[in-house]
Amino acid sequence: MIPKLIVKGAKKAQREIATIDKNRVKQSKSAVVKVAREKIKILKKEMRAGAPGGKQLKGWRETGKFDFTKTGLKKKRGKPLNRLAKHVSSFVTPISGGIRVEAGFVRKGGRGTNVFINLAELHQKGFESTVTEKKRRYFAAIAKTSLPAKSKFRKFFFIRKSTKKMVVPPRPIIDPFWDKHSVSVVPQVKAKYRELMKA
């Protein structure tokens, strides 16, 4: 007869180990998500300061200080990137063996959000826009109806006849931010994981 080693409470111990393992997996995922959300808050703050990654963006036109709304021009309260900052987010997707966390200008299917994502991509790459007579009339009309005659900003909306195109230089947002903050992600995830496991 083959001798059997009987350990009292073995099944209970196995259940406890399985529970601990599940908790470790859960808390490791939570740590990643929490750090991603913290980074998003920092990115929004730096965008609103006009300096993603700590590098001040330059070359803003006076017209960039306004939002073009259905009722006319509306002076922006913050920097030109303030409105884009509202659409920075993180998105968690379950995958085999873990999760995938996307952070930044993430497409989630919302039409309004996607409009701003397209705008953000244009600004990051830079672009040129041909000035047509229709565009000249549009800018002039919106200035006349939305800005007082003595407004110092009014002149910037009347495009010269000699101006054939508008050039928007590249204004990188995500890359400078990631270059500055990526090195701290892993240590912060580890620290957050230890914090969650102690709780």
For 142-196, how does the pLDDT look when each residue is reduced to its tens digit (9 = 90+)?
888 777 788 877 888 888 889 899 888 888 888 889 889 888 988 888 898 889 8
- Whether residues 20 and 106 share a domain: the answer is yes
Range of the domain at 146: 127-168
Burial of residue 140, with CB atoms counted within 10 A of its CB: 0-12 exposed, 13-18 middle, 19 or more buried = middle
Number of compact structural domains in the chain: 2
Residues 99 and 151 grouped into a single domain: no
- pLDDT score recorded for residue 4: 44
Statement to judge: residues 23 and 119 lie in one domain: yes
Say yes or no to pLDDT of 9 above 80. Answer: no
The pLDDT assigned to 5 comes to 45
Q: How far apart are CA 75 and CA 78, in angstroms?
A: 9
Reported confidence tier of residue 1, pLDDT bands at 50, 70, 90:
very low
**43, burial (CB in 10 Å: exposed 0-12, middle 13-18, buried 19+):** buried
Beta bridge partners of 101: 92
* Backbone dihedral angles phi then psi of residue 75, each to the nearest 5 degrees: -65, 130
pLDDT in tens, 67-110: 655 555 566 555 667 778 888 887 777 777 777 777 787 766 54
